[in-house]
Amino acid sequence: MGTALITGGTSGIGMTFAETLAQRGHDMCLVARDETRLQQVADRLRQERVEVEILVADLADRADLARVEDRLRDRDRPVEILVNNAGFGVPQKFSTGDIDAEQQMLDVLVTAVMRLTHAAVPGMVARGTGAVINVSSVASWITGGTYSAAKSWVTVFSESLSLELAGTGVNVVAVCPGFTHTEFHQRAGMQMEALPDWMWLDAQDVVDTALKDARRGRPISVAGPQYKVLSLAAQYLPRPLVRAIGSRRPGGQVRAK
């Protein structure tokens, strides 16, 4: 089994990807800002008898991002699976909010995804195998503020690159989860108690569906029958109705993985 590099791999969906791929025999390269949590997760994954490397990096920092890019370009230590999972949103209105926070979000959700993918893909194509898994969101199809706008970029980018790389042996998939039981909403300070149980997904289901869809070469992965229906509706409903739905979404604009 090859190596998987996972950004934001110390919690939530990213950690579930790490646990699942380690159980399947993949060595790991975990990227996150918190060295203590990285070490804790790495120690646990090593119990699966895989090698685990950690990279402490803030993907909004260009110097840190460049170090991760260099790791992906290392032909002597090839990365077979890239999981672009790290991300956060900003709990504010764009018109009155902190523009530096908005820029930081775009740096992580858009720029880092673009640059890390660009660093990884040439080696994968040369080897004739590989996968890029970009964690997007069902929010990419609604008007959910700048978070939705950034995730929309991730979804369309992944679809486009999937077409570009068809026949190379490299698969690209945008993973579009709905509300998922992770630390995401708690760390964001979002009150989600009113959300009905049927709208919640399990992170393991999201990851299992994503890995299955990546193997099958599907450019979009949506877990859960409820979100398969909702995502199709969001894509094909008249835009005025989509905007109305977006204005009533629970939790408002979100923050942090």
Residues taking part in catalysis: 147
Question: CA geometry: angle at 218 spanning 239 and 23, to 5°?
Answer: 120
Beta bridge partner(s), residue 54: 30
Angle, helices 203-216 vs 12-23, to 10°: value is: 60
**Contact between residue 38 and residue 10 where contact means Cβ atoms under 8 Å apart:** yes
- Contact residues for 74 (Cβ-Cβ < 8 A; gap 6+): none
Q: Can you point out the beta strands (E) in the chain?
A: 3-7, 27-32, 52-56, 79-84, 130-135, 170-175, 220-221
Radius of gyration of the chain (CA): 17
The Cα–Cα gap between 207 and 12 comes to 11
DSSP state of 107: I
The Cα–Cα gap between 10 and 158 comes to 23
Q: Can you point out the beta strands (E) in 140-212?
A: 170-175
CA 27 to chain centre: 19
